[in-house]
Structure 1
């Protein structure tokens, strides 16, 4: 199984609407990805460890797929729709993508 993570770096005075991201953008992606998607989640950054420190990432979205090919097969036809939605939740542009293999799952 693989995880596709989209990491949105914290920016001083940057705008990120985590409510829109969690309730509109990610469900949109989930609908577009259909049954190929195995699960999704959103992390909203709180801090970098010590109290009062800004988080390295303001948010991260995660998608689970069986294989990387399965991800690309459903992402590529819908990429523009998802990219066009980005200005609705952030002024920071695209996030950083990390595709990782899940070795252990609880």
Structure 2
């Protein structure tokens, strides 16, 4: 199993519309990526390890899939639609990481 993490670093003066992201963008992503998704998570940053400091990320989305190939096979045909929606909720350039999930 793999997890595709999409991280939106917090930046002073940046814009991130949580309501749009949770209510419109992520449901669209789930619909478009369909059966390739085994699990989906959304995290909205509220703080850091240092009390009173802002969260290092405005948001983090996680898509769990069987393999990189399963994700890319689902994502590639709809990439333009999903990436084209980004300006509707943020001006932050996302950072993407693909990780292998390990059992502990």
Which TM bucket (shorter chain)?
Answer: over 0.9
Instruction: Specify the SS of the correspondent of 1:62.
Output: strand
Moved more, 17-26 or 70-79: 17-26
- Corresponding residue of 1:87: 87
Structure 2: which 5+ residue stretches go unaligned? Answer: none
Superposition map of 1:1-106 within 5 A: 1-93=1-93, 95-104=94-103
RMSD: 1.1
* Aligned-residue offset at 1:63: 0.4
CA distance in 1: counterparts of 2:7 and 2:89, whole angstroms:
14
CA distance in 2: counterparts of 1:20 and 1:62, whole angstroms:
17
Give the TM-score normalised by the residue count of structure 1: 0.93
Structure 1: which 5+ residue stretches go unaligned? Answer: none
Q: Which runs of 4+ in 1 moved over 4 A?
A: none
